[in-house]
């Protein structure tokens, strides 16, 4: 981790500890560097980084002000830049799916070990919501429920780091799910298969089988990755075929 990233984390913790609000001015640079236990050049680099992301605003001769509270920083620092990358090049969505494999394999594992009856009821609720919206043809709301289903599993892990990571990436996860649904769910057979995959994850958590839960969620995400890749390749082949010159028959 870069020194500036470490300073950002310390600054985030300080703002939360002091319960500062949006629009508040940060302490003077010298005082802030002492409070954080960092050098002034490292602090300047971190503040410049946060200024460029729009979460802080520095005014010459006036100081640095909070534009976004720390709980919103992951949206500004992680989700928005990646969302822009995906819009420019859809292939980046596969990086999101690969990250989900690593993260959600762990959340499902611990959810199977630690989930409470209330946790499992919440997971079941969103499972039903996915089916309800999918049957109604509302892909956007189905994507929200799908993302909430995966977030509920993370919350059932009772690991605060995993939960915060999933919450931070929620909007990106929802956006990624919606992109996948536009392709994979168009086929009713795929819709039934993906519903069964969700059920297998939920059932493994209900049975408190961590390895089965991990395998089920990773298998689900791998299926989406492979299927979307295949559909993309098929679309690319069709587009190439349309560029072939026509041969007139005589």
Can you give the residue ranges of every domain in the chain? Answer: 3-72, 83-242
Q: Tell me the per-residue pLDDT of 234-246, one tens digit each, with 9 for 90 and over.
A: 666 677 667 766 6
Q: Look up the CATH number of domain 3-72.
A: 1.10.10.10
pLDDT of residue 174: 65
pLDDT of residue 162: 86
pLDDT of residue 219: 95
- Domain 83-242 is in which class? mainly alpha
SS (HEC) of the chain: CCHHHHHHHHHHHHHHHCCCCCCCECCCHHHHHHHHCCCHHHHHHHHHHHHHCCCEEEECCCEEEECCCHHHHHHHHHHHHHHHHHHHCHHHHHHHHHHHHHHHHHHHHHHHHHCCHHHHHHHHHHHHHHHHHHHCCCHHHHHHHHHHHHHHHHHHCCCHHHHHHHHHCHHHHHHHHHHHHHHHCCCHHHHHHHHHHHHHHHHHHHCCCHHHHHHHHHHHHHHHHHHHHHHHHHHHHHHHHHCCCCCCCC
**Which residues of the chain are under the pLDDT cut of 70?**
1-2, 4-5, 70-94, 168, 170-189, 231-237, 240-241, 244-250
pLDDT of residue 115: 97
């Amino acid at each position: 981790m870069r020194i500036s990233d470490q300073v950002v984390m310390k600054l985030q913790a300080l703002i939360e500890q002091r319960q500062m609000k949006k629009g508040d001015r940060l302490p003077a640079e010298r005082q802030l560097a002492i409070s954080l236990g960092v050098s002034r050049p490292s602090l300047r680099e971190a503040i410049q980084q946060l200024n460029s992301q729009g979460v802080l605003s520095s005014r010459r001769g006036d100081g640095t002000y909070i534009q976004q509270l720390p709980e919103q920083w992951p949206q500004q620092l992680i989700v928005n830049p990646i969302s822009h990358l995906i819009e420019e090049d859809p292939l980046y969505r596969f990086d999101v799916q690969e990250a989900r494999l690593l993260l959600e394999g762990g959340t499902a594992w611990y959810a199977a070990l630690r989930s409470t009856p209330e946790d499992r009821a919440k997971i079941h609720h969103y499972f039903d919501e996915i089916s309800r919206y999918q049957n109604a043809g509302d892909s956007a709301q189905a994507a929200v429920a799908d993302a909430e289903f995966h977030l509920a599993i993370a919350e059932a892990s009772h690991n605060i780091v995993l939960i915060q990571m999933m919450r931070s990436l929620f909007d990106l996860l929802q956006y990624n799910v919606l992109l996948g649904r536009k392709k994979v769910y168009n086929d009713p057979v795929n819709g039934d298969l993906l519903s069964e995959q969700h059920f297998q994850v939920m059932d493994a958590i209900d049975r408190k089988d961590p390895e089965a839960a991990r395998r089920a969620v990773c298998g689900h995400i791998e299926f989406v990755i492979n299927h979307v890749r295949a559909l993309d390749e098929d679309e690319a082949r069709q587009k190439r075929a349309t560029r072939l010159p026509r041969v007139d028959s005589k």
